[in-house]
Amino acid sequence: MSMRKNEGAEESMRKKLAAVIMSTLLMAGVLTGCSSGTKQEATNEIKIGGNFELTGGVANYGKQAVNGIQLAIKQANASGGVLGKQIKLVLADNKSEAAEATNAITKLITQDKVVAVFGPATSSNTLATVRVAQDNKIPLITPTGTSEKITVENGKTHSYIFRSCFIDPLQGMIMANFASNTLKVKTAVIYIDNSSDYSKGLAKSFDEVFTKNGGKVLGQEAFLQKDQDFKSALTKIKALNPDVIFLPAYYEEVGKIVKQARELGMTMPILGADGWDDAKVVEIAGAAPLNNTFFCSHYSSQDTDSHVVSFIEAYKKEYNQEPGVFSALGYDAGLFLIDAIKRANSTDPAKIREALEQTKNLQLSTGLMTIDANHNPIKSVVVLEMKDGKPTFKEKITPKL
């Protein structure tokens, strides 16, 4: 009986000891996990994602935007970094496709653990990433996605989505007013990329404002991205004999359409928006066919503003080439986010989002920028005229705050 009591006591003691050991091991695991998390937070890097078109149909846009972002980051890192840390840009190639853009941002957020994301460059690809950024509460800044729906949908502003470029309705309005007031034309035909939200948004705005100005839109034709032969639609447009054609599209199709239009003897002015603003358009269309064409954009390299000049000098020193508008907007996006992280004094995505929202009169390469209630920038617009293959400054419009 006594022996059994002793055995029971020993057994009870063994169980208690085992429980203590297990508890100690579990606590050690928790502490190890905490230690790992602390080390991660204490890392000397701030990881920011870049979801861009590095290959595919609009790769030139993506590459230019990345160059601008990397220049802004390099300058910030060389000046001591941000919050005492170095910024690291983690890139993902969306291959100029919406589905790939969704995959890319998912990887950047869930695997690479970035605190914010730049890109994509085009509206359609950016729209494919909005929900992922919103659901994960990670700030997204598109340098060049101009579709109105990127930041506002069904009247509601997406809380984590921002941009450093102006929106499609503004571009459509600018070019409609330019057609009416500067070119003084009365009739127009709109030729859109039916596969592009960017193109559709611009067309809608141009149509509304041009008609309000007393002009008449004689018709609308459509093509699809990657089409090669546009002469059937252009022949229909020629038969309508408009004073002007509004062509809101990207440089690859723009170059082919302008070239084929001139080959058909269509000499009227052709208007566009910032999707035209790439040196490749001249390679595709040729210099002469682009004469008598006009488009609006975000800045002009002919601008003598000191901030524009210093940006161009720094870019040329870094890349040994002139910056395109997508480079300037990428650079601006970089400055925009870096400034917000500094003012937030934190890498917490929620605090970065608040700082982005509160941006006012921030000096960028393309001018001063203030973010409005819809997370769109209020900033200047320029109209450029193509002369012998070179974009030439025509007008500058600064919206009122």
Whether residue 171 has pLDDT greater than 60: yes
Confidence band of 14 (pLDDT split at 50, 70, 90): low
- Give the separation between CA 49 and CA 26, rounded to whole angstroms: 35
C-alpha dihedral, 257 to 262 to 265 to 267, nearest 10°: 100
How would CATH label the architecture of 45-166+303-379? 3-Layer(aba) Sandwich (3.40)
pLDDT (tens digit per residue) in 370-383: 999 999 998 888 99
User: What CATH code is assigned to 169-297?
Assistant: 3.40.50.2300
What pLDDT sits at residue 400?
Answer: 58
The tokens for 349 are 């995505």
What pLDDT sits at residue 31?
Answer: 37
Percent of the chain having pLDDT more than 90?
Answer: 77
Average pLDDT over residues 5-15: 49
Average pLDDT over residues 73-100: 97
User: Exposure string (b/e) for 278-300, b if CB count within 10 Å is 16 or more?
Assistant: bebbbebbeeebbbbbbbbbbbb
Q: Which residue has the higher pLDDT, 29 or 301?
A: 301
What pLDDT sits at residue 184?
Answer: 97
- Is residue 381 within 8 Å of 375, Cβ to Cβ? no
Radius of gyration of the chain (CA): 27
Average pLDDT over residues 245-271: 97
Confidence band of 218 (pLDDT split at 50, 70, 90): very high
The tokens for 33 are 């996990």
Whether residue 183 has pLDDT greater than 80: yes
Residues 259, 260, 264, 269: is their CA dihedral positive or negative? Answer: negative
Least Cα distance to 94 among 147, 55, 150 occurs for: 55
Nearby residues of 193 by Cβ (< 8 Å), 6 or more positions away: 199, 222, 223, 224, 225, 248, 249, 250, 253
Whether residue 257 has pLDDT greater than 70: yes
Partnered with residue 246 across adjacent β-strands are 190, 271
Alpha helices by DSSP H, 84-230: 98-110, 123-127, 130-136, 168-177, 197-212
Alpha helices by DSSP H, 275-324: 280-285, 306-319
Domain boundaries for CATH 3.40.50.2300 within the chain: 45-166+303-379, 169-297
Whether residue 299 has pLDDT greater than 90: no
Least Cα distance to 258 among 226, 293, 308, 225 occurs for: 293
Average pLDDT over residues 245-268: 97
List own/partner pairs for 346-349 with CB under 8 A and 24 or more apart.
346/83, 347/46, 347/83, 347/85, 347/115, 348/115, 349/115, 349/116, 349/137, 349/138, 349/139, 349/160
Strands 362-364 and 367-371 turn out to be antiparallel
Residues 377, 383, 386, 391: is their CA dihedral positive or negative? Answer: negative
Q: Which residue has the higher pLDDT, 222 or 13?
A: 222
What pLDDT sits at residue 11?
Answer: 52
Confidence band of 148 (pLDDT split at 50, 70, 90): confident
- Give the separation between CA 262 and CA 136, rounded to whole angstroms: 49
Strands 216-223 and 244-246 turn out to be unpaired
Average pLDDT over residues 323-344: 96
Q: Which residue has the higher pLDDT, 114 or 278?
A: 114
What pLDDT sits at residue 214?
Answer: 98
pLDDT (tens digit per residue) in 38-81: 233 457 999 999 999 999 999 999 999 999 999 999 999 999 99
Q: What is the pTM of this model?
A: 0.73
> If you average pLDDT over every residue of the chain, what do you get?
89
Confidence band of 205 (pLDDT split at 50, 70, 90): very high
Confidence band of 397 (pLDDT split at 50, 70, 90): confident
Average pLDDT over residues 281-297: 97
The amino acid sitting at 136 is N
